[in-house]
Amino acid sequence: MIYLDHSATSPILPCVKTAMLEALDKYFGNASALHTQGHLAKEQIELARARVAKLINADPKEIIFTSGGSESNNTVINTFRNKTIAFSAIEHPSIIEPAKKYAKTFVEIPVDNSGIVSLQNLPKTDLCSIMLANNELGTIEPVEKIVSLKRSTFYHSDLTQAVGKLPIDVKKLNLDYATFSAHKIGGPTGIGVLYVKQGAPLTPLILGGHQEHKLRAGTYNTAAIIGLGVAAQYAIDQNAPKLYKKQILPLRNQLAALILDNIPHSSLNTPLEHSLPNILNASFQAAEGESIQLYLDLKKNICVSTGSACASGDAKPSHVLMATTNDAEVAHSSIRFSLGLDTTESDILAVIDVLPEIVANLQSISTIKIKEK
């Protein structure tokens, strides 16, 4: 199998798996209990909290554990219910949907054809949410610059795709809130992080318990939290952002060049000069993205995506690509390749060995007329 869908989820790291299996045996106690077994579990949770905080240069007291990035995002939006909220047109649905539902007034900030937020269109709001890097295109947003303009009272950034790929310092970014998930950095699914700057308001989304200083009720998912902590420490110890830049960026760029050179009527949606080192989004005229994905999977055991895994099964074109291209055909013909630290040059060459023929065969039976440039 060739796995190029790390932006959807990354395989669990061996060190994370080992730590979680150990946790199931040694730290099974309820971390809220007063007995020794409870204290042992609580100690491991606080160790994980410190590791996660170090990964993004936060104080451990500013870290809240949740069930994932979507819950973390919803919690931030819920805090500003009946307030004015701004968000970029390419935010994750877990920002866009609750903001549209709960905000007194919401503003969708447009982006250019690279996915970069327009600084001229930043409104005055109670909350502004701009992801640091987009999950479909890999576009890196000028979050530090946006916050420095002080158009909103509070700022949030979804760090889910950026963590482990870029050096992140929430203090330098001057964020009030930040969110991400464990399973994008080799941790387990079902566990996420909510960073809340000291002094920033927060309204709990889940009530009914004293956990996380009464800001997120529910029995601790101890094994998953430990796994997250180990994944965070691995990213720190390995200097993961440096590895991605040194090892993976050249492979991503090689794949981009090979696609353009070997597949007629292909184009890139990812802005290579200001994007994450591991994401490449490309479109293939008159070839449906889902069909390309299925052929690669079923015929060649190559795993890619047509965009956000959270939107899988939705017949609508990607809202991200519609925001950047306003072209449904481009959106429907797109494929996202997302590389990981285990990706090799042989993986890239294997994709290019089969992809041109797959695209050509689909184009030959398509009813869509190819537009000559």
Both tokens of 3, joined, read 């796995």
Mean pLDDT by 10 residues, the chain (373 residues): 97 98 93 87 96 98 98 98 97 98 96 94 94 98 96 97 98 98 98 98 94 93 98 98 98 98 96 97 96 94 78 73 93 97 98 97 85 67
Report the CATH architecture of 14-237: 3-Layer(aba) Sandwich (3.40)
Cβ-in-10-Å burial (0-12, 13-18, 19+) of 306 comes to: buried
Give CATH 3.90.1150.10 domain extents, the chain.
2-8+239-365
Q: What is the pTM of this model?
A: 0.95
Q: Residue 316: what pLDDT?
A: 83
Give CATH 3.40.640.10 domain extents, the chain.
14-237
- Per the residue annotation, which of 15, 128, 303, 310 is the catalytic one? 310
CATH number of 2-8+239-365: 3.40.50.2300, 3.40.50.9100, 3.90.1150.10, 3.40.50.720?
A: 3.90.1150.10
* β partners of residue 11: none
Distances (CA, A) of 138 to 7, 58, 278, 310: 9, 24, 8, 16
Active-site annotation holds for 303: no
Q: Residue 120: what pLDDT?
A: 86
Q: Is the dihedral of CA 241, 242, 248, 249 positive or negative?
A: positive
Q: Residue 309: what pLDDT?
A: 45
